[in-house]
Structures are given as structure tokens and as C-alpha cells.
Amino acid sequence: MRSLALITLLAIFGCSDANRNSSLPTSTTDEDLMTTPVKDIHSFAEPSQAIMQHLVWQAEVDFDSSLITAKASIRISRDPKAESVILDTKNLIIDSVKTGPPGQESPCEFTLGEPDNLLGSALKISLSPNTEWVHIYYRTTEEAEALQWLSPQQTSGKQQPFLFTQSQAILARTWIPLQDSPGIRFTYDATVKVPEQLLALMSAENPQEKNGLGVYQFKMEQPIPAYLMALAVGDLQFTSLGPRSGVYAEPNLIDKAAYEFDEIEKMISIAEELYGPYGWSRYDLIVLPPSFPFGGMENPRLTFATPTILAGDRSLTSLVAHELAHSWSGNLVTNATWDDFWLNEGFTVYFENRIMEALNGRDYSEMLALLSLQGLRAEVAEMMETNKAGDTHLKLNLKNRNPDDGMTAIAYDKGYFFLRWLEERSGRSVWDRFLVNYFKENEFQSMTTEQFLHYLQKNLIEKQHINIYQDELEEWVYQSGLPDNLPEPVSTKFELVDAALISWIDNDSLPASDQWSTHEWLHFIRNLPEDLDSNSVKAQDVNYNFTQSGNAEIQAAWFEKAIAYQYQPAYPAMADFLIHVGRRKFLTPLYKALSQTESGKEFALQVYQDARPNYHFVSANSIDAILGVSNTD
């Protein structure tokens, strides 16, 4: 049924110019499109048989062995005729499985399927006619890809160990047996035992201080998909930032963190004014150790953040706006499969930009939009040259691939520009009203690209009589490259930077840069000519101290240039950066650039020996591929 609906929709979109009208699939097809569950190729779950609804997780975190021992009790909703429920697992040791209401458990049959390198093993649990609960007693292993266990030395305070998880996209199954598909939502309760001197936090209602016992209770009452399961354990302290927000960090970082994120309450209010009430009650942040592989992760009620945004001047807080925006786009309305990833990230970049516009003015947000456009154009050009045109479609096809492959500028920035284009074609007030309803009407549900297009057609294009044609939508969503009618951000601030660059190149005159923000500096560095002589490179560095900048974005952009210029004085600081920072967005371009010359590759391999033990699996996995190192090395 589902594929029929899809084919019909594609057929209509497919007939392009001949059909410049706003016709839609017939009404029976509409119904299917909005209600039939979609198959997720990255999960073994069979939702038509049984779907998990609630998880009770009881766990003990052991830093000596770097393992979690746990019991996962799962309540399911099922077809009465279903003979089994299938959960996703990867690299877990299953000790036993029982069924029956909590307290009345009895052993049951189960099988663990052949492991797949990417997807792990299907845990198939036999059900009796009335079974509603299954209980899995299990342990994690050293191969738990979501988990990173840090020694005290790898933390900021250097006194206590630290553990954090990163479940998105399909790594939740490496620490909890569950249905690891973004289209399946459940609530959860947890009891977690950790060493007494540490605090545990989850993507749930959280404690604000240690209780001396090391046993913490958690509750997440709103249904969430598995990729939002999260846990952090460490020597953590809390500071309140407002009535419903605060920040957790290691004690020696807490003041810096509180300063950096001071605008958070304002951001929440702005976001609510734009797209409706914040639905998760509290919004807290946690600053993780520098090996955290992402800038931020939108774990509900508790955004996980890299310490590399603690720039000391609040200049990198658009990342907080981004993760906060996910509380609507992603966490309330969730991409149904990883092929629809742009629905999470494109919407979030759009929303982030709107928050930053309201907070700092259009001049500011247009700088962000231009940086996004520059990154997008570069990445699209590279993909087109390397035979990856298919990956430039908003709607992806990640069959037999790691969903991580979808984390490109396409989902984020092409997604952003598509939504900005829709805004420009509809007019802002009509568009904003549409989005408020979109979040409200679809909250706590998943969304496919086709369902979104259908919703758009009905609720924006038809209802508001907007002149947007099917073939235009089809080009944005299903075709490669970038449409000609891509919106063009205008940034006078960047025009001034461009002019300063030209006059510096022509007359050696230094730019009047006293008032420049981090974004202007990034634009300046990225646009430095490719063929600078070594004296000019040095002059730049001496003047502006890029190599030693306290701002990780500036350092990362500068190191990329330093590699192109083979500017040796930057290399020791670059090695230090690569060893201590595990944020993949910074690492990938640097290792790639280094790999392009023989001496660079040698340097990279050398540094990587010291750096790899500090990286989380997702970063190590990406850098292994770039350097051609096998992950057993």
C-alpha cells in the first residue's frame, strides 16, 4: 500500500513541465500516505507485529570494567496474533530474557540473529498470546559504539572518570536492546547506579545535585524515538540560568559555561513566539569533555554540547539555538527514517537562523546564512565531481549504508535553503502560521518527506493559494545539485570583509577589524587567497594570533589554511588540537587536507596514534576511513 502511494506521488512529481499545476494524489492514496507505517531499512523491528511503548531501564555503570550491566523491561503494543517481537541489538551480551508483567516474570524463548556489521543482531523474543512485557537481562561490551568511557586524564578536572553516550543515528542499540527506529516512540523510566562521587544525567527529568548514594531515578513522560536515549555520568555541577533552564559542567568549567549560555531563557522565549510552546518542560545543557564527537546533540530536556563552543564571548551560541530548535523540529516532529534526515536538520537550521535573527538582528543571521551557502556550494561541487550526485538529493537513499553518510550539507543547508525559498514564496507571516500548525498537528509523530510534501500541498499551497508548482518542489527534493532559484543571502558585513581582503592583498593595508565577530573572522580566513607567500601568512598569524586563538572555530579554519600553505609554525598547535578535540566536523577536513601530501599524511598518521584513543567511535570511524587505517589497528 505504502509503496503504491509513493509511486503515485513520484509519478505526479515526475511529469514535471507537462504538469504545472497543483494536483495531488487521490484521496484514498492520501490516507495511506499519512497513516501506513513506513519500513525503516536501518532497523530489524517489525512494527506491524509489535511496537515498544515504554521502557523501564535498570542499570549499573561500572567504570572499572567500562561496562554497563542492565535490565531492560519493555511494554509492547502488539497484534494479538503476533508470535514475536523483534528488538535491535548490537554487540550486547544477552544473559536471559523473560516475559510477563513486572514481578511475575517467566523465562521465554529468544534468538539472536547473525550480526550485521552495520545493523547488529535482531533479538527475536517469542510471545504468548497475552504477553505485554518483555525483560532483557544484558551487558554491554567493549564494542558499545555509543559509549565513550573517559579516564580522569581525559576530562577537564582530571580527577574523576566520565561516561557519555551518543545514540544518533543507530547506536542506541549498542547500549540498550530496543526498537532503534526514528518512527517508533516510547516513554521511559530509569534507575541508574553510578560511583557515589559522580552524578548521572539522562534525556529525562534530571537531578540537580549528587545525592551521595550514586543511585538516580529518571522519568521521560513524553514519547521519544530511540536515538534520543542519552546518559552522561561524571563529576558534574549544576548552575541555574533561569526558571526553566540551567547548565551542567565539570566544576572547573561551570562558571565559563554559565556565562556562555546566559542567553538561553531569551532564546526559549523567542523560539516559543515563533513556533509555539516549548513542549519538554525544562531545557538544560551539559558541557561534555572535548572528545564529544559533535558540536551538539539535541537529547530531550538535556542538550549535550562540546566545550569547543565556550569561546568566552558568546559568539558560538547559534549552536545552542540549533539544539534548542530541535525541541520542535526533530524531537516533536521526527524524521520517519534516516532517508528523511533533512526534515530534522533542514528545519532545524532554518529555525536556528530565525532564532538568531530575532536575537541579534538580520545582519547577524545573514552572515550565518552566507557561511551555510558557501559550505553548501563547496560540498555540492565536490559531490558532483566525485560521482555522488545521488547524495545531493534532499530525500536520501541510504539502503545498505551507514545513516551517518547522510550528515552532509545537503540535509542541513540545502534543507535550509528549500525552507527559506518556501518562506520567500509564501510570505513570512503565512509561512510562520503554517509552521506553527505543522508542529502542533504533527507533534510526537514521525514524518516522511512524502507526508511533508502532502501536508505542504494541502495546508499551505492550496489553502493559501500560493503559486508553487509540483515540478519546483520535485526539483528541490528529488533532483541533484542546487536549483537555479536558490535564495541569495545578502550580508553587508561580509561585503566589508571582502573589501578589506582586497585592499590587504592590493595595498598590504590591514583591515579595520576591531569590531569583527567570529563569523567575520571565519569569512576572512576562509577567503584568504590560496597562493599566499610565507611572509604574508606569517604576518597574518603574528597580527591576529590565529594559531593560538581561544576560539576553536577560528583555529580549525586557520589550520585548514595552514595545511594548504604548509605553514609549519602552526603544526604543533594543530597536533595539540587534533589530539584533544574529538569534534568530527573539525577533524574531518583537517585529516583530509593533511592526507593530500606525503609529508602531511605522515604527520597525520603520527598525530593520530596519540589522538585516536581520545576519540569517540563515530569520529575514529570516520578518520580511520580517511587515513586508510583499519579499525582493529
Catalytic site positions: 323, 412
Q: What is the DSSP string of 10-44?
A: HHHHHTGGGG-S-----HHHHHHHHHSPPP-TT--
Separation of alpha carbons 131 and 84, rounded Å:
10
* Cell numbers placing 281: 518542560
**Least distance in angstroms from the C-beta of 329 to Zn ion:** 9
Fill in the per-residue mask, 346 to 365: x = in contact with Zn ion (CB under 5 A), - = not in contact.
Answer: --x-----------------
Examine residue 370 and tell whether it contacts ligand BES (CB under 6 A). no
Which one of residues 59, 144, 147, 169 is an interface residue with ligand BES (CB under 6 A)? 169
Examine residue 301 and tell whether it contacts ligand BES (CB under 6 A). no
Which of these segments, 273-281, 289-297, 386-394, 599-607, binds ligand BES (CB under 6 A)? Answer: 289-297
* Residue whose CB is less far from ligand BES, 342 or 524: 342
Residue with cell 590565529: 546
Which one of residues 40, 284, 298, 560 is an interface residue with ligand BES (CB under 6 A)? 298
- CB neighbour list of residue 373: distance below 8 Å, 6 or more residues apart: 413, 417, 486, 488, 489
Return the closest-CA partner of residue 241 out of 181, 163, 320: 320
Which of these segments, 133-141, 153-161, 295-303, 600-608, binds ligand BES (CB under 6 A)? Answer: 295-303
How many alpha carbons lie under 13 Å from residue 405 in its C-beta half-sphere? Answer: 19
Q: Considering CB distances under 5 to 8 angstroms, the limit depending on partner class, which of Zn ion, ligand BES, none binds residue 407?
A: ligand BES
Examine residue 323 and tell whether it contacts ligand BES (CB under 6 A). yes
Separation of alpha carbons 166 and 294, rounded Å:
9
Asked if residues 280 and 331 have their Cβ atoms less than 8 Å apart, the reply is yes
Examine residue 296 and tell whether it contacts ligand BES (CB under 6 A). yes
Fill in the per-residue mask, 115 to 154: x = in contact with ligand BES (CB under 6 A), - = not in contact.
Answer: ----------------------------------------
**Least distance in angstroms from the C-beta of 401 to ligand BES:** 13
Which of these segments, 41-49, 317-325, 356-364, 558-566, binds ligand BES (CB under 6 A)? Answer: 317-325
Separation of alpha carbons 25 and 21, rounded Å:
13
Separation of alpha carbons 320 and 312, rounded Å:
15
Asked if residues 201 and 236 have their Cβ atoms less than 8 Å apart, the reply is yes
Q: Considering CB distances under 5 to 8 angstroms, the limit depending on partner class, which of ligand BES, Zn ion, none binds residue 314?
A: none
Return the closest-CA partner of residue 459 out of 411, 328, 451: 451
Separation of alpha carbons 584 and 605, rounded Å:
17
Fill in the per-residue mask, 404 to 443: x = in contact with ligand BES (CB under 6 A), - = not in contact.
Answer: x--x----x-------------------------------
* Residue whose CB is less far from Zn ion, 150 or 411: 411
Asked if residues 580 and 562 have their Cβ atoms less than 8 Å apart, the reply is no
Which of these segments, 30-38, 158-166, 341-349, 549-557, binds Zn ion (CB under 5 A)? Answer: 341-349
How many alpha carbons lie under 13 Å from residue 547 in its C-beta half-sphere? Answer: 19
Number of residues that bind ligand BES (CB under 6 A): 16
**Least distance in angstroms from the C-beta of 508 to Zn ion:** 41
Return the closest-CA partner of residue 526 out of 338, 302, 414, 375: 375
Which burial class, exposed, middle or buried, applies to 272 when counting CB atoms under 10 A from its CB (0-12, 13-18, 19+)?
middle
Examine residue 294 and tell whether it contacts ligand BES (CB under 6 A). yes
Which of these segments, 5-13, 258-266, 318-326, 609-617, binds ligand BES (CB under 6 A)? Answer: 318-326
Examine residue 372 and tell whether it contacts ligand BES (CB under 6 A). no
Site for ligand BES in 575-594 (CB under 6 A): 585
Separation of alpha carbons 575 and 569, rounded Å:
11
Q: Considering CB distances under 5 to 8 angstroms, the limit depending on partner class, which of Zn ion, ligand BES, none binds residue 624?
A: none
Number of residues that bind Zn ion (CB under 5 A): 2
3-state SS record for 364-402: HHHHHHHHHHHHHHHHHHHHHHCCCHHHHCCCCCCCCCC
Which one of residues 161, 234, 295, 489 is an interface residue with ligand BES (CB under 6 A)? 295
Provide the H-helix boundaries in 448-582.
Answer: 449-456, 470-478, 492-507, 518-526, 534-544, 552-565, 571-580
Which of these segments, 123-131, 236-244, 310-318, 344-352, binds Zn ion (CB under 5 A)? Answer: 344-352
Q: Considering CB distances under 5 to 8 angstroms, the limit depending on partner class, which of ligand BES, Zn ion, none binds residue 357?
A: none
Task: Return residues touching Zn ion (CB under 5 A).
Answer: 345, 348
Task: Return residues touching ligand BES (CB under 6 A).
Answer: 168-169, 294-298, 319, 322-323, 326, 345, 404, 407, 412, 585
